[in-house]
Structure 1
Amino acid sequence: MPSYRVTLAVGALAPGATPDAVLPEAARLVAELTVVEAKDVQLLRGVPCAVVRFEAPSDEIAEAVASHAADGLAATAEVRSAAVTRRDGPRWTPVG
């Protein structure tokens, strides 16, 4: 099954949310729909991002998983953007 990852650019935290809650919550949301392979925090162009790698049978399902994670994470933090990429050999290819 192909590997995908969703990169969620994170903005302001919701009232009462802590920074260390963002990544576990993003991974939990993805895990509601599929198998989580890995999770990480990255700083991309100065913007903190929660990155969750997961399995999906198709690009369409991967995009649905990413949308679910972005929508659900809005209760914890502002999601400025969500990008989905697919693992193609040694590179990550944008989906959508």
Structure 2
Amino acid sequence: MTPQKITRKWTYTVYEKKLRKKLKEINGDPHKTKERVRWMYDRLSLRLLVEKTGFTEFARKDFNTSDIPNWDKYKLDQSNYGKYALDPSVYVECRKKP
């Protein structure tokens, strides 16, 4: 006697199909929205890259500090609800060699 092979096929209910479709609409496709991460760097690899491309005076900064005069008046990455950054990010400044 040979054992019978039991196979199961997953079927979605109508509700599950609608839910999956809605989640795709909400989340979006990261390739289309340009929100996918293309490159990730740590401080050392980023510094080596910018120095290799001709920049000098590599310096880490905060979202609200810069060598640009009156930088704090622009509030580019500051939240409307307090003095903190909108997203966790790395802030650096460099100068291009003439």
Query: TM exceeds 0.5?
Result: no
After TM superposition, the score normalised by the length of structure 2 is: 0.29
After TM superposition, the score normalised by the length of structure 1 is: 0.30
Which of the pair has more CA radius of gyration?
Answer: 2
The structure with the largest strand share of the pair is: 1
